[in-house]
Chains A and B, each alone.
Chain A
Amino acid sequence: MAVSNFSTKDLVSGAMFVAAGAYFALEALNYEVGTAFRMGPGFMPLLLGCVLAALGLGVAANGWKKPDTERPLSPPWRAMVLIIGVIIFFGATIRGLGFVPVVLVSSFAAAMASRLNSPVFALLLAVTLTVLCTAIFVVGLGMTVPWFGPWLGM
């Protein structure tokens, strides 16, 4: 590979910094930049975005001639999909479905993110967590959220 002379870690994190810096700097151009005396809302983001992009280049260049020695572990795709999915599901349905069903489904799905958990264990964990969370947050701390939401016709 052409980049085999580079540390992948440095190259990728450098690229991420450049991308993030470029985004913030370009977006900041849509706002009033102002002058050094009266800085507008765009001044700091433009400046910092450019600094971040420059740092990104520096990080990437720093990885030159430091090729990777260790083989990275493969990312936990299943866990990522399930856990991020759970968070989005939670946000999207908490108002509609209500606390109890959302927590039950979420904790079951989150538990399945680990390959070591069997479905039965996940279900047991989900029930335990639902009871626990309902007791702590809804009953104990008086969180204002329905037990069962309007989507369930209750």
Chain B
Amino acid sequence: MDIIASLGLGFSVALDPINILYCFIGVLLGTLVGCLPGIGPTATIAMLLPITFSLSPAGALIMLAGIYYGAQYGGSTTAILINLPGESSSAVTAIDGYQMAKQGRAGQALATAALGSFFAGTVATLLLAFFAPPLARAALNFGAPEYFALIVLGLLVSIALAHGSILKALGMIVLGLLLGMVGQDIYTGQPRFTFGIRELYSGLNFVSVAVGVFGVAEILRNLEDEKSRDVMVKSVKGLWLSMTDFKRIIAPVLRGTVLGSLLGVLPGGGHILSSFASYSAEKRLSKTPEEFGRGAIEGVAGPESANNAAAQTSFIPLLTLGIPAHPVMALMVGAFILQGITPGPNVINDQPALFWGIIASMWIGNVLLVLLNLPLIGLWVKMLSIPYRALFPAIVLFACIGCFSINQNIYDVYAIGFFGVVGYVLIRFGCEPAPLLLGFVLGPLLEEHLRRAMIISRGDPMVFLERPISATLLGLALLAVIIAVLPGIRQKRKEVFVEED
């Protein structure tokens, strides 16, 4: 199909008034919740996921995508205004953005973030439209061994990018894989690890695990050390960029977009890497590197563009291969499955309206973001002053109600509590929860493809090395691990992530 015709189809879906409404609601909700301090995109989507069940598949996914970049954007706002990044990818924005806000240039920082994100989002959406179809076609030739290798690659790259101990990250992945095996075995129907509870036969509810590990555990973590926080910036003025500012941000935005688009495709947190990479690139290329960390506008423009471009291109592996690149995409997989659609290379042919509709709606969502954010900035600043002690009870309630409403299953609610405690204990002892969630989502896929591949090869594990694509993918996975454990790179990783802690 011709790309113009495809995009036309997409826009006809995305411009359907009802879908524009869903997109708008998604972006609004996402920004709203993303602006609330202490809640990142993952928790936001996990919490709001149940709300989308009653919608049509296109409406639900358009709204979720809207929530995603809305929350991402809201996270940058909190990073700039109160130095509290909603998630790790906006941690970099906080470095210079907060300094700009302190110097009374919060308006310019926010405008830079908005414009940079918009430009990057537009480019990345186009890239997605161009590259997704051929990739999906290639993926149709993938057999079980290739998929197995791809999943292994995704999981291992995600640890290469995780900060902290690699052994712990590996452990969290394996734990996630094991948790994904709870429920009936796909081939024999044998119930596994269910304690005889019939409600667990269909497996642990994905939303429960996500809100438990990312929502409840985070609340417990925050309640360890309660302090009230002051919002320093009470009002934001001067959203317009001067000509000089404009000139200063053009090149960083362009470079950020390129970096972000490339790195976003990587499985396992490419969007985090991209903002860090863009920041260090800008710092190195700058004629005045000493300004970085003291409110350099380039330090906001580059990473924000990179981060948003990566957010869009991270949909590529999801839409073409059905492999989530990071926890938020893992939640999107959950949303697809709950809508009765298996994400993967078939979506583009079986449901072209849905596929292209989502892509087109991303661009519309980006337009809505700019329209919403700049004029309403006063409202977002007000949101920041809501104290956390009033917010977390609402999160707990939303999590319970949301999970219960999916299947009316009370064990889904109990699972939130269980994973809240497990997540809290693991975080407390220095394990990151993101690899666990990726492992949990990919576990059943990994097992299915491994077993299928072994049946095809009659039990010969060499099949993974004899087939060129799977051998290449496994080789890349091995390379990722080697790079991650090399002492020189480890040192670099420490430097890169040092601002985050």
- Distance (whole angstroms) from the CB of A76 to the closest CB of chain B: 4
Contact residue among A45, A51, A58, A80 (Cβ-Cβ distance under 8 Å from B424): A80
Whether B167 and A114, one on each chain, are in contact in the complex, defined by CB atoms closer than 8 angstroms, is no
Expressed in whole angstroms, the minimum distance between the Cβ of A43 and any Cβ of chain B is 8
A86 engages B174 (CB within 8 Å): no
Taking the complex as formed, is A67 at the interface, i.e. its CB lies under 8 A from any CB of chain B?
Answer: no
Identify the closest chain B residue to A8 (Cβ).
B429
Contact (Cβ within 8 A) B167 A41: no
Q: Do A83 and B396 touch across chains, with their CB atoms under 8 A apart?
A: yes
Which chain A residue lies CB-closest to B187?
Answer: A41
What separation, in Å, do the CA atoms of A121 and B389 have in the docked complex? 10
Please give, as numbers and ranges, the residues of chain B lying within 8 Å of A76 by CB-CB distance. 220, 223-224
B51 at the interface (CB under 8 A from A): yes
Question: Across the interface, do B226 and A114 meet the contact criterion of CB distance under 8 Å?
Answer: yes
Of A62, A75, A110, the residue contacting B397 (CB under 8 A) is A110
The answer to whether B174 and A37 touch across the interface, beta carbons within 8 angstroms, is no
Q: Closest approach, in angstroms, between the C-beta of B390 and any C-beta of chain A?
A: 6
Assembly CA distance A30 to B190 (angstroms): 11
> Contact between B401 and A103 (Cβ–Cβ < 8 Å)?
yes
Q: With A13-B426, A16-B429, A45-B192 in contact, is A55–B219 under 8 Å at CB?
A: no
Q: Mark B428-465, 1 if CB is under 8 A from A, else 0.
A: 11110000000000000001001100110011010000
Is A45 a contact partner of B193 (Cβ separation < 8 A)? yes
Q: Which residues of B contact A28 (CB under 8 A)?
A: 192
Chain A residues whose C-beta falls within 8 Å of the C-beta of B268 in the assembled complex: none
Q: Provide the bound-state CA to CA distance between A84 and B399, in Å.
A: 12
Provide the A75-110 mask, 1 if CB < 8 A to any CB of B, else 0. Answer: 110011001101110111011000000010011001
Interface assignment of B491: CB less than 8 Å from any CB of chain A: no
B413 within 8 A of A: yes
Name the residue on B nearest A109 (C-beta): B393
With CB as the reference atom, state the residue of chain B lying closest to A130: B397
Q: Are B54 and A141 neighbours in the complex by a CB distance under 8 Å?
A: yes
For B450, the chain A residues whose CB sits under 8 A away are 39, 44
Identify B414's interface contact among A55, A87, A141, CB under 8 A.
A87
Beta-carbon contact of A58 and B178 below 8 Å: no
In the complex, the answer to whether B193 meets A24 with C-beta atoms within 8 Å is yes
- Cβ-defined contact, B421 with A55, below 8 A: no
Q: How far is the CB of A84 from chain B (nearest CB, A)?
A: 5
Contacts of A12 in B (CB 8 A): 429
B392 touches A110 (CB 8 A): yes
CB pair B225 A125 closer than 8 Å = no
B429 touches A9 (CB 8 A): yes
Given the contacts A48-B174, A84-B421, A55 and B192 also touching, CB distance less than 8 Å: no
**A143 within 8 Å of B (CB atoms):** yes
CB neighbours of B181 from chain A (8 A) = 24, 44-45, 48
Q: Are A13 and B178 in contact, CB atoms less than 8 angstroms apart? A: no
Check if A17 sits within 8 Å of B171, measured CB to CB.
yes
Chain A residue contacts of B420, Cβ below 8 A: 83-84, 87
For the complex, give the distance between the alpha carbons of A56 and B187 in Å: 30
- Per the bound structure, the CA–CA distance linking A42 and B447 in Å amounts to 11
What separation, in Å, do the CA atoms of A140 and B174 have in the docked complex?
40
Select A55's contact among B170, B188, B400, B459, beta carbons within 8 Å. Answer: B170
A74 smallest CB distance to B (angstroms): 8
Q: Assess whether A13 is in contact with B430, with CB atoms less than 8 Å apart.
A: yes
Give the complex CA separation of A133 and B398 in angstroms: 8
A36 to B171, CA, bound (A): 24
Q: Is the CB of B174 within 8 A of A52?
A: yes
B421/A80 in contact, CB under 8 A? yes
Q: Which residues of A contact B397 (CB under 8 A)?
A: 103, 106-107, 110, 129, 133
Chain A, Cβ-Cβ closest to B421: A84
Task: Report Cα–Cα, A94/B404, bound state, in Å.
Answer: 9
Q: Specify which of B175, B228, B400 is in contact with A90 (CB 8 Å cutoff).
A: B400
Contact partners of B429 in chain A: CB under 8 A:
8-10, 12-13, 16
Of A31, A52, A88, A132, which is within 8 A of B178 by CB?
Answer: A52
**Chain B hits for A24, CB < 8 A:** 178, 181, 193
Name 6 interchain pairs, CB-CB below 8 A, sorted by A.
A38-B454, A76-B220, A91-B414, A107-B394, A107-B397, A126-B393
Question: What 9 A-B pairs have minimum CB-CB distances, sorted nearest first?
Answer: A37-B459, A91-B413, A41-B185, A87-B417, A110-B393, A79-B223, A13-B429, A91-B410, A114-B389
A9-B429, A39-B450, A75-B224 given; 9 more Cβ-contact pairs under 8 Å? A32-B190, A36-B461, A41-B185, A41-B188, A74-B224, A76-B223, A79-B219, A84-B417, A137-B401
